[in-house]
């Protein structure tokens, strides 16, 4: 278990999106991916989508979406499942844990009973889940206001 914690801590130190997604693929985590709103295409956004393809994200589906959420249950196998049903709220269960996002009522993103992120502007948010520890181990944002640069948002994590 100590090796898992070391890997999880290392993940939180990575600052470049390509390195981050390569590490996710290497260590096989699950990712709850949320697209909040729409925006103009840009080279930085296109690069982010290309980096996300490393773990199996369907970049065309994300690009064409006006917002929603997806779940990758394995960043090594690249299984990418659209969970968004067109409502302003989405919830589902994986590994005996509830994952939810509330776009309308300001409840933000929850993993289990814990709120892990407020929806704070247009962009992409990734909540990384570790099935070994049954915890959300990292939340990263790629917001329009940050020109899609990776930002760790650990405010809600223990």
pLDDT (tens digit, 9 = 90+) per residue, 97-142?
A: 999 999 888 789 999 999 999 987 899 999 999 988 899 999 999 9
Domain-located, residue 65: yes
User: How many other β-carbons are positioned within 10 Å of the β-carbon of residue 139?
Assistant: 22
- Determine the pLDDT at residue 85: 61
- Determine the pLDDT at residue 31: 95
CA distances from 123 to 99, 126, 139, 146 (A): 19, 10, 13, 9
Domain-located, residue 158: no
H/E element holding 51? helix 43-52
- What tokens appear for 93 in the block? 């269960």
Domain-located, residue 143: yes
Q: How far apart are CA 21 and CA 92, in angstroms?
A: 24
Cα first-last separation, the chain: 17
Q: How far apart are CA 21 and CA 141, in angstroms?
A: 13
Place of tokens 């929603």: 68
Q: How far apart are CA 89 and CA 71, in angstroms?
A: 15
Do 108 and 36 contact (CB within 8 A), yes or no? no
**Structural domain boundaries enclosing 83:** 2-152
* Domains contained in the chain, number: 1
Predicted TM-score (pTM) of this structure? 0.92
Sorted by sequence, the CB contacts under 8 Å of residue 144 that are 6+ apart come out as 39, 121, 122, 123
Average pLDDT, consecutive stretches of 10 residues, N- to C-terminus, the chain (158 residues): 77 95 92 92 96 94 89 84 74 90 86 91 94 92 96 75
Domain-located, residue 81: yes
Domain-located, residue 157: no
């Amino acid at each position: 278990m100590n090796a898992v914690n070391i890997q999880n801590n290392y993940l939180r130190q990575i600052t470049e999106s390509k390195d981050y997604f390569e590490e996710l693929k290497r260590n096989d985590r699950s990712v709850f991916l949320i697209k909040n709103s729409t925006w103009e295409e840009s080279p930085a956004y296109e690069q982010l989508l290309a980096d996300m393809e490393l773990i199996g994200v369907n970049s065309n589906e994300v690009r064409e979406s006006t917002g929603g959420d997806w779940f990758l249950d394995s960043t090594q196998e690249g299984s990418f499942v659209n969970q968004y049903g067109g409502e302003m709220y989405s919830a589902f269960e994986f590994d005996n844990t509830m994952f939810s996002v509330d776009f309308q009522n300001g409840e933000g993103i929850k993993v289990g009973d814990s709120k892990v992120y407020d929806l704070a502007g247009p962009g992409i948010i990734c909540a990384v889940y570790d099935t070994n520890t049954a915890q959300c181990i990292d939340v990263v944002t790629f917001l329009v206001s940050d020109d899609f640069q990776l930002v760790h948002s650990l405010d809600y994590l223990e």
